[in-house]
Structure 1
């Protein structure tokens, strides 16, 4: 019923203006569109056919701040995205953003009379959409609350939430679930609502092609995605997907926000998804603190960092660095010996490989290793001593990531 009402308003406005009109939800996904009037661009055609304008266009529109607009404005053309300029009018009810009305206007020739018609249509759309919003928001909130509880540390909460999801058929039962966590870190104090909307837009883009294959919830500056399937997803595919989403979120949030992603291990069904979630949340710390991951970290890649990343932030202090390593740092003004030690340990104590990696003669390497042993008082031929120093170096790397 609502689709018919909305479609009638959109069609009537388009005929009145003699222009192509579309209305999108707040995450820039198409709700309905008028017929073409010969003014359509490639973005509109794609959106009508696919019900989605594409991540690059969505990111560009969100970056214009359209979700914060309180009155109509013009979105500039982007020839590289094949996007013509268009009027964007926010559809709000009591301050709540319900939709975005788009009217293609490449030469900005809409008259004041036509603008009045747009405003009248916006008011009519708001009344129609608000009824649906109240219903949809209740369903969404219930589903997201259940998903959060499914991933909680309480077995009792998880069991109850699983029963709720199954009864409401909100999430299908599958043999494989992989959880990814998307965290946004923003030093410009961007409004949380803007970040949350950018995350929702990205999650919706992932979920729309196959709603049965993905479930998600968003809370403030974190989005959690559950990918549901009959088999485990390819790890390289998960990384590519996460990288693309993180970039889209960063493009949409004005102010230099950084989106990092942690990907958990696949688990056997929803009842074990909390394990994948905990590992994904830990991996987000690695993605933020360790430059080698470039903003996307998978639990399986963390190695020795996995247990260290579970140390609470307030306890991750220089005091955790072993005393012998602190002594080495104090006497190594040029960081040459610390670097040598790191390379030597990273190559499992192989002198030929370490010397090659450092581009030095093996004799020079032996000399440096003797210096390290003298300063630390440790024996690099002993496994426990090497482990002590290697863990200390990992802690140092994490401390650098905190700065």
Structure 2
């Protein structure tokens, strides 16, 4: 079959008009030579490989992703956009991209045979890419399982070009510790955030380990990885699922299992501590992930002393909230009062009540450290993540 570029050039020559093929998300696939009909957005796509956001919003407003018929799109002078014709490129029900012609309509008997051939070529490329993705995802599964096969999996991934020489990997873990299962979550590879993140120098493999969905993000040296931004957008997409996302540091592909442990602990910390974002990065939350990891391995003798137990009784919830806020604000009474919307005299009274109740002075440095640890560890131990932490074998060193 002729290549997409050959077909596009032949069509453009017959029409004496420039033509382009884009992906469903507006990334440039191929472009013909120009015939003097180009506009600013077309030149921008050629230079940047992507559509300007304002132009994309305008074009997609014509429902081009859902139609099977060509659509005529009016000019938009404020965007320096000429009128153009959009031909959806489909194979079966799968949208593979768009063929664009500037300056209105063209004869269907000329254009449609090329539309069908380009769509067929894109479909064959997509099938080959799907097969390759499945192979790479299987290698990613083996890599994360560890053991003897992990080293061979890392070697084969590098041979396939994933995280090759000079590249690093960063792991993103999506978990729902409250339900201990990821059933019902969409495939991460179909996420808009992930698809927009992928570009030359950025690759992603998807793996499922037990009840955890994992992205192995490979980034070539010298490129901006953008993984944290992508993870935040992914968290927005999954907001209704109560999923939490953890992001590891960057490392070598051979270290992927250790990086997965970082991502899992980060996701669990995000689940426990409300002040953390839904997509939490290992590098940004040292105390929280340390508390989460510690709580999962605490022997019985390391539990807070019995003398502190009255503070955790339901009847003393206001005192617990007050002392936790006071400790979180580093003993700043003004900031604590403002955060709790209480008068400073009320704060002084409650802190004195805490001291009477458990015999610990929240204003004393050493006592404050012990009390803060007790409050935070208890929060983890009484959260939904503790069973997940203790059962998840990937968290064991």
Q: Is the shorter-chain TM-score for this pair beyond 0.5, marking a shared fold? A: yes
How many residues were matched structurally? Answer: 357
Native 8 Å contact 2:86 2:98 kept in 1: yes
Cα distance in 2 for partners of 1:249, 1:40 equals 38
Counterpart for residue 118 of structure 2 = 125
Counterpart for residue 104 of structure 1 = 102
Counterpart for residue 282 of structure 2 = 299
Native 8 Å contact 1:203 1:216 kept in 2: no
| Residue 341 (1) aligns with residue 323 (2) | yes
Is there any run of 5+ residues in structure 2 with no aligned partner, and where?
177-183, 297-303, 386-397
2:254 equivalent among 271, 296, 319: 271
Q: CA deviation at 1:272?
A: 0.9
Cα distance in 2 for partners of 1:290, 1:99 equals 42
Q: 1:275 to 1:345 in 2, by over 3 A?
A: same
2:22 equivalent among 24, 35, 50: 24
Is there any run of 5+ residues in structure 1 with no aligned partner, and where?
185-189, 313-319
Cα distance in 2 for partners of 1:257, 1:87 equals 39
| Residue 216 (1) aligns with residue 204 (2) | yes
Native 8 Å contact 1:176 1:229 kept in 2: yes
Q: CA deviation at 1:22?
A: 0.8
Native 8 Å contact 2:337 2:344 kept in 1: no
Native 8 Å contact 1:199 1:223 kept in 2: no
What TM-score results when the alignment is normalised by the length of structure 2? Answer: 0.68
| Residue 330 (1) aligns with residue 312 (2) | no
What is the correspondence of 1:3-402 to structure 2 with a 5 Å cutoff?
A: 5-53=3-51, 66-73=64-71, 86-105=84-103, 109-110=104-105, 114-150=107-143, 152-174=144-166, 177-181=169-173, 192=186, 196=190, 198-205=192-199, 208=200, 211=201, 214-218=202-206, 223-229=215-221, 242-243=228-229, 246-247=232-233, 262-267=246-251, 269-286=252-269, 292-306=275-289, 324-327=310-313, 329-331=314-316, 335=318, 337-348=319-330, 350=331, 353-355=332-334, 357-358=336-337, 365-375=347-357, 380=362, 382=367, 383-393=369-379
Q: CA deviation at 1:216?
A: 1.2
Counterpart for residue 300 of structure 2 = none
Native 8 Å contact 1:67 1:97 kept in 2: yes
Native 8 Å contact 2:188 2:194 kept in 1: no
Native 8 Å contact 2:324 2:372 kept in 1: no
Secondary structure class of the residue paired with 1:283: helix
Q: 1:157 to 1:123 in 2, by over 3 A?
A: same
What TM-score results when the alignment is normalised by the length of structure 1? Answer: 0.68
Q: Residues 135-164 of structure 1: CA distance to partner in whole angstroms, max 9, x if unpaired?
A: 3333333223323432x1322332221132
Cα distance in 2 for partners of 1:192, 1:11 equals 38
Cα distance in 2 for partners of 1:193, 1:62 equals 24
RMSD over equivalenced CA pairs, Å: 4.7
Secondary structure class of the residue paired with 1:110: coil
Cα distance in 1 for partners of 2:243, 2:82 equals 29
Cα distance in 2 for partners of 1:193, 1:73 equals 31
